[in-house]
Structure 1
Amino acid sequence: MTAGRLPMVDATETAEHPADGAAFRFVDLFAGVGGFHAALKAYGGECVYAVEIDKAAAATYARNWGHDPLGDITNDANDDVMNVPPHEVLAAGFPCQPFSKSGAQRGMDETRGTLYWNILRIIEERKPKVVLLENVRNLAGPRHLHEWQVIIETLRAEGYRVSDTPAIFSPHLLPPARGGRPQVRERVFITATHDPSGIGDDSLDVEPVAYPGVGIDGFEPKIEWHLEDLLDDSHNIPGCNLTSAERSWIDAWDEWVQTWYEQTEGRRPPGFPIWADAWTDLAQVLRDFGGVPDYRDLMDADPLLPQWKAGHLAKNYALYFEHREWIDRWAKRHKIYSNGFPASRRKLEWQAQDAARLWDTVMHFRPSGIRAKRPTYLPALVAITQTSIVGPRQRRLSPRETARLQGLPDWYDFGGQKASATYKQMGNGVNVGAVWHVLREHVARDEEILKSTSAGRKILEAVSGAPLSPDEVLAAMR
């Protein structure tokens, strides 16, 4: 293992001369535990620089990839220092801090004080042939239009061909044979190719390499994903097990769901959030309104009440009014309103369609309630405590299963760190199969530009000649 920083490459090397034996050189910024590294190394790339500020993630990266990335990009790439060596591919899952909007100037000056500016300094200095950036989908949303425009405009100012339309992609849209995983993890990818000849005309704009919600090769995620392909009870650890309180909450709502089916002759549970706390107010509500109110009545009575909340309350009042006899027995039996049943567990969000039982679903304990979904593909891993509960297994996903969801091979070693650290790292990570696919699509789109330089041809050859999935390549690395 290399101690400390990665070895520096001679600064006199140009982007036309990759390191010996490698298809191309890459840098891995905001590296996490190495999702980009996994995909780019599997494509034949050689990492010449990596940086990650989180100590635990950096230690995991070092354990698996042989390089210690611990450091701060702001110290290595700024106005006075450039410690990032020459490379052909720049990859970064960068944090999206608010961009400064002070002053009337646009362009590079507006990025100062953000971590994107440090990326841009590297691009300005090193001119990598391909840039591959990843961020949360919200970066391409209306609230961040300014930030999006700054990124696109500054890349084009440096001579990069990049789409003005966001490329949004999720690994659940990829078939397993192409490295897909049953995780809805929509991310925006910004892919760019250095093409300085296009500056000043329209050739720097191009179609995105992916579109949201479009399955690849006709793949139908809602039909074709099965969680059993991911699960492995041999990796279960005590930290995955449910507490007695958690089991009691699920058991209570499982009985509610089954009773609902019995009382409604098989009609699926309501799709709106079910709020047990709303039912305790019904007697007073009936007196105040002379019957069950609709959402307009509630909003007239309280002008500050948001329409969405008024709608949910009205539906809950109507539901309870019709079914209160058995609901009251259920609430009393399970002590729903006792201290052992916190407010966030007195809510159920049923998104599991016709699943027969709550225990047949995938669940999340959220502040908004217990959310239940069909056991096909999973919601995105997050870096907090909402790890998926697999109802049929009556446990949470194991750390190894979350690594599989991110496309990391089973040899990937988390050492002796706590499960909570692994969950956090996987929640912050980038999916390997998504990176693999997006880079392949980018190279195919910009093939003619890449052919024009030796560095571009090496990238093109490495990516287009690789298999459709990184899985076998990664599995064979150890």
Structure 2
Amino acid sequence: MAKSASAFRFVDLFAGVGGFHAALKAYGGACVYAVEIDKAAAAVYERNWGRNPLGDIKVDANETIMNVPDHDLLVAGFPCQPFSKSGAQRGMDEARGTLYWHILKIIEKRKPKVVLLENVRNLAGPRHLHEWQVIIETLREQGYRVSETPAIFSPHLLPPERGGRPQVRERVFITATHNPTGLGDDSFVEPVARIGHGIGGFDPKAEWHLEDLLDDTHNVPGCDLTEAEVRWVDAWDEWVQTWFEKLDGRRPPGFPIWADSWTDFDKVVKRFGDVPDHRELMDDDEGLPAWKAGHLAKNYALYSIHREWIDVWAQKWGIYTEKFPPSRRKLEWQAQDTPRLWDTVMHFRPSGIRAKAPTYLPALVAITQTSIVGGTRRRRLSPRETARLQGLPDTYDFGAQRPAATYKQMGNGVNVGVVWHVLREHVARDEDVLKKTAAGRNIIRAVQTAPLSPDEVLAKHKPVTAG
């Protein structure tokens, strides 16, 4: 798949199953070092690329010598938990957050021409302004041109002919070029990507078709819904259809619909003398968060208008019985005017059943919230379909590992098409610096002579060893 002579050398840190590797190898690069601490992910990496990355970044006691060879390009999807909304958001105060310093030591020692780091969007959020500034300033101290403005991008903004996929997966990228003599001009450099409209006028809402991604030949046990899950969806599907009928086609409300809140309605109205608003609820309970007070007030108001048919619905389906656990008594409608719940893309979440329009999929996550597609399929995505969402070819070998492991790896992975696009944009931005060195010119040549999408190259992928 690579050219006969490698265009550039790269190292792959926190490598996962090899999403970065897939993009860079397709560009003609040669991996000279890779590291991944998870055994299952490392095994998949080795099967596909012939290199065992199992281990951790090694830094000696003086933090001066790393077991990392010289290279032209460094990539790292460094651990996101310290910055993720699903975690405690402790940033660099948490031990895993300090892994950036290991990356920086390698950069300080080896001075790769290009650095490409990836993390969750929240790294560039208000909770982590300090961490963001530390990363930018320390890279500049090492002589790198890097934008202070975050580069945020998602695969659903790329058309399929450019390697895009129907997955909203917003990630922040930090791209830097070694430019020790030009830092005075680098303070206001633009980011290589901005979240917003599709590339080249591509309209994600109109032009993505999930059926292009799906097929039933890769289904595994666990893709099909259980009887209980079907019942939960059937019940809320009737609720949604009744809502559309009763309200002449007006879409369901965007706030979470909490069936449990309706059981307290009469008691609450008696206490307040009427349906309370959120201020009254907060005044009555000083410990009640504003967001929860707002949702409760909206649910009380909704129920006061529609209780006649809602009570009939709840009785019919046994909403307040053991058939419906508390988390399945909630519906988060984000599917706009989709006429039925069964026609949406769904997630079973601790916060309820979340429904989205069937245009593109929410981000894959490393926990058990695999997307459920409705329509005629009515099942979860298969592991192979999640790999497709990340831009990996159908020949990518996951061996005999459990589906849960593949789901986790894809939830933690990087999208190949986005890496391809971000590197291309970075080379275009920094061509003036890159062309000054042989390594930079090699990277320019590799990127500019490659196709617009990695897909046609990766279609030729063959695992190195059988799984």
Name the TM-score, length of structure 2 as normaliser: 0.93
Q: 1:71-90 alignment to 2 at 5 Å?
A: 71-75=55-59, 79=63, 81-90=65-74
How far apart, CA to CA, are the structure 2 residues paired with 1:146 and 1:140? Answer: 10
CA pair 23-342 structure 1, distance change in 2 beyond 3 A: same
CA pair 244-475 structure 1, distance change in 2 beyond 3 A: same
The secondary structure found in structure 1 opposite 2:186 is helix
Query: Which residue among 183, 197, 222 is the counterpart of 1:239?
Result: 222
How far apart, CA to CA, are the structure 2 residues paired with 1:255 and 1:264? Answer: 14
Query: Which residue among 355, 368, 372 is the counterpart of 2:355?
Result: 372
How far apart, CA to CA, are the structure 1 residues paired with 2:96 and 2:43? Answer: 29
Q: Is the 8 A contact 1:74 1:115 kept in 2?
A: no
Matched, 1:419 2:403: yes
Moved more, 362-371 or 314-323: 314-323
How far apart, CA to CA, are the structure 1 residues paired with 2:224 and 2:290? Answer: 39
Q: CA deviation at 1:101?
A: 6.8
Letter of the 2:46 counterpart: A
| Higher RCO structure (Cα 8 Å, ≥6 apart) | 2
Q: What is aligned with 2:333?
A: 350
- Number of residue-to-residue matches in the alignment: 451
Q: What is aligned with 1:105?
A: none
CA pair 100-247 structure 1, distance change in 2 beyond 3 A: closer
Q: What is aligned with 2:453?
A: 469
Matched, 1:443 2:427: yes
Q: What is aligned with 2:315?
A: 332
Matched, 1:400 2:384: yes
Q: What is aligned with 1:50?
A: 34
Q: CA deviation at 1:367?
A: 1.2
Q: What is aligned with 2:164?
A: 180
The secondary structure found in structure 2 opposite 1:50 is strand
Q: Is the 8 A contact 2:91 2:128 kept in 1?
A: no
What does the per-residue CA deviation read over 1:30-49, in whole Å, with 9 as the maximum and x for residues that have no partner?
A: 00000000000000000010
Letter of the 2:22 counterpart: A
* Sequence identity percentage: 77
Query: Which residue among 366, 379, 403 is the counterpart of 1:383?
Result: 366
Matched, 1:161 2:158: no
What does the per-residue CA deviation read over 1:39-96, in whole Å, with 9 as the maximum and x for residues that have no partner?
A: 0000000001000000000001111111110011145897154110011000000014
Letter of the 2:257 counterpart: I
Letter of the 1:391 counterpart: G
How far apart, CA to CA, are the structure 1 residues paired with 2:198 and 2:97? Answer: 38
CA pair 301-113 structure 1, distance change in 2 beyond 3 A: closer
Matched, 1:212 2:195: yes
Matched, 1:227 2:227: no
Q: 1:258-337 alignment to 2 at 5 Å?
A: 258-337=241-320
Q: Is the 8 A contact 1:198 1:204 kept in 2?
A: no
Matched, 1:430 2:438: no
What does the per-residue CA deviation read over 1:203-240, in whole Å, with 9 as the maximum and x for residues that have no partner?
A: 35410000112321011111111111111111111221
Letter of the 1:252 counterpart: A
Cα RMSD between the aligned structures?
1.8
What does the per-residue CA deviation read over 1:101-138, in whole Å, with 9 as the maximum and x for residues that have no partner?
A: 79xxxxxxxx9981111111111111100000000111
Q: What is aligned with 2:51?
A: 67
Q: Is the 8 A contact 2:393 2:461 kept in 1?
A: no
How far apart, CA to CA, are the structure 2 residues paired with 1:268 and 1:226? Answer: 22
Q: What is aligned with 2:346?
A: 363
Q: CA deviation at 1:378?
A: 0.7
How far apart, CA to CA, are the structure 1 residues paired with 2:451 and 2:60? Answer: 35
Q: Is the 8 A contact 2:65 2:109 kept in 1?
A: no
How far apart, CA to CA, are the structure 1 residues paired with 2:14 and 2:114? Answer: 17
The secondary structure found in structure 1 opposite 2:355 is strand
Q: Is the 8 A contact 1:77 1:83 kept in 2?
A: no
How far apart, CA to CA, are the structure 2 residues paired with 1:356 and 1:291? Answer: 33
How far apart, CA to CA, are the structure 2 residues paired with 1:301 and 1:71? Answer: 55
Q: Is the 8 A contact 1:139 1:148 kept in 2?
A: yes
The secondary structure found in structure 2 opposite 1:196 is coil
Q: CA deviation at 1:202?
A: 3.4
The secondary structure found in structure 1 opposite 2:206 is helix
Q: What is aligned with 2:86?
A: none
How far apart, CA to CA, are the structure 1 residues paired with 2:45 and 2:31? Answer: 12
Letter of the 2:414 counterpart: V
Name the TM-score, length of structure 1 as normaliser: 0.91
Query: Which residue among 95, 106, 111 is the counterpart of 1:122?
Result: 106
Q: Which structure 1 segments of 5+ residues have no match?
A: 1-18, 103-110
What does the per-residue CA deviation read over 1:441-471, in whole Å, with 9 as the maximum and x for residues that have no partner?
A: 0000001111101110000000011111000
How far apart, CA to CA, are the structure 2 residues paired with 1:73 and 1:445? Answer: 30
What does the per-residue CA deviation read over 1:409-464, in whole Å, with 9 as the maximum and x for residues that have no partner?
A: 01001111111000000000000000000000000000111110111000000001
Q: CA deviation at 1:141?
A: 0.9
What does the per-residue CA deviation read over 1:296-321, in whole Å, with 9 as the maximum and x for residues that have no partner?
A: 22222222222221121111111111
Q: Is the 8 A contact 1:77 1:84 kept in 2?
A: no
Letter of the 1:116 counterpart: Y
What does the per-residue CA deviation read over 1:166-219, in whole Å, with 9 as the maximum and x for residues that have no partner?
A: 1001111101110000101000000000111124x2335410000112321011
Q: Which structure 2 segments of 5+ residues have no match?
A: 83-89, 463-467
Q: CA deviation at 1:395?
A: 0.3
Q: Is the 8 A contact 1:355 1:361 kept in 2?
A: yes
Matched, 1:192 2:176: yes
CA pair 266-112 structure 1, distance change in 2 beyond 3 A: closer
The secondary structure found in structure 2 opposite 1:363 is strand
